[in-house]
Amino acid sequence: MILALRELRRRPGRFATAGVILTLIAVLLMFLGGLLDGLIQASTGAVRAQDADVIVYSDNAQASLARSRIEPEVRETIELLSAVTEVGGLGVVQLGARVPDAGPRDLAGVALFGYELAPTGVPDTPADGEVYADEVLRADGVEAGMELLLGPARSPVTVIGFVSDTSFNGQGALWASPATWRDVLDANRPDARVSGEVFQALVVRGDAEPDDLAAMIDRITAEYHTASATRSLSVPDAVNAIPGVEEQQGTFNQIIGVTIVIALVVIALFFSLITVERAGLYGVLKALGARSSTIFAGLVAQAVVVTLIASSIAAALTIALDAALPPGSLPLAVSADRIITSVLLLLVAAVVGCSFSLRRVLRIDPASAIGSSS
């Protein structure tokens, strides 16, 4: 192994080709992972931010806020449960927002939420006509104190502050009072209007475990409100149930898996060629008493070092790319966890790729290898 590391230090050019290719693969892997995380964050932030144990939808809504309707009598039944401590209504409408000084067709996509229980990082419900805006909307020119006109009806709301990481379905969130949400919904989506104290979902806090609390809620609503049964989910389950989230994760994970396989093939081919080129040297080492396991450990050490160097360069390039991108231009979220995961996957690929050279190392005969090289 010492000889292998010494060769790596003295003859780095021999490993340059593999290093460059692995660097590009690592950049692609980290970029894809960051893009996946960014897309998921942009789709699920508003749900992840809910400071609750359970989110309650109507049973036929398929965990979609837009399709769900919770009647006041259903809410009253839920509030009577001994395990329930707080219940708040939640509703959303997705619209285009006209930003002052922007072009008439240059609309910012927004998701206006009406809420009663404040999500994590969001202040208590503002006054009617006022909203807290997600920071991603700064990229569209939104500023504090600005009046936005929402939807075809141009419903006015005034931005009084900013919050972070609360986007929904790729749109920046606006957090408003229930009355503001109802007014905007009625004016711009007459077919989806709600009356009285109807909400699209309920945010529930309780004393029981989330799964147990969800089961209690669904059981009692099914018993007393057959036509208005509910489907209750813990916040993590509600995040995964958002339409499109699992599909995005599945697609990107498949692409990431293919990228790892490509890295494995590159390492396997490179070190297979090196093994063939060094057959004579390995024959001499075996004749001097070196074991096949020692020779193979040297190959693995070289592959690990090359992979670590390539991964370090790739991580720096990915972080620089993330910093260079204008806010809101691309949903890229580069995190330490994602970089570490990518490096670990590449290291596994390096070790597995080297294993294809093990058979060649084991089959090297000292006498024949020295004879063929002389």
Same domain, 175 and 289: no
Whole-angstrom distance, CA of residue 94 vs CA of residue 113: 9
Structure-token pair, residue 349: 């690929």
Q: In terms of Cα–Cα distance, which of 28, 56, 62 is closest to 245?
A: 62
Q: In terms of Cα–Cα distance, which of 66, 53, 90 is closest to 217?
A: 53
Considering just the CA atoms, what is the radius of gyration of the chain in Å? 29
Determine phi and psi for 145, rounding to 5 degrees.
90, -5
Whole-angstrom distance, CA of residue 184 vs CA of residue 148: 12
Domain count, the chain: 2
Same domain, 39 and 56: no
Q: Residues 87-119: pLDDT tens digits?
A: 999 999 999 999 998 776 789 999 999 999 999
Reported pTM: 0.79
Same domain, 133 and 209: yes
At residue 324, the pLDDT reads 87
* Structural domain boundaries, residue 359: 2-44+245-373
Whole-angstrom distance, CA of residue 99 vs CA of residue 141: 7
Same domain, 71 and 194: yes
Q: How many other CB atoms sit within 10 Å of the CB of residue 68?
A: 23
Whole-angstrom distance, CA of residue 219 vs CA of residue 231: 10
Of 179, 212, 241, which residue is a domain's last? 241
Same domain, 188 and 112: yes
Same domain, 111 and 70: yes
Question: Exposed/middle/buried for 211, CB within 10 Å: 0-12, 13-18, 19+?
Answer: middle
Q: Are 202 and 66 in contact, with CB atoms under 8 Å apart?
A: no
Of 241, 275, 294, which residue is a domain's last? 241
Same domain, 249 and 236: no
Q: Residues 224-279: pLDDT tens digits?
A: 887 778 999 999 999 988 878 888 888 888 998 998 888 888 888 877 777 666 65
Same domain, 214 and 128: yes
The CA-based angle 334-337-338, given to 5 degrees, is: 50
Determine phi and psi for 139, rounding to 5 degrees.
-65, -20
Between 336-363 and 245-277, two packed helices, what is the crossing angle to 10 degrees? 30
Q: Residues 277-287: pLDDT tens digits?
A: 665 566 656 66
Same domain, 318 and 172: no
Of 206, 224, 241, which residue is a domain's last? 241
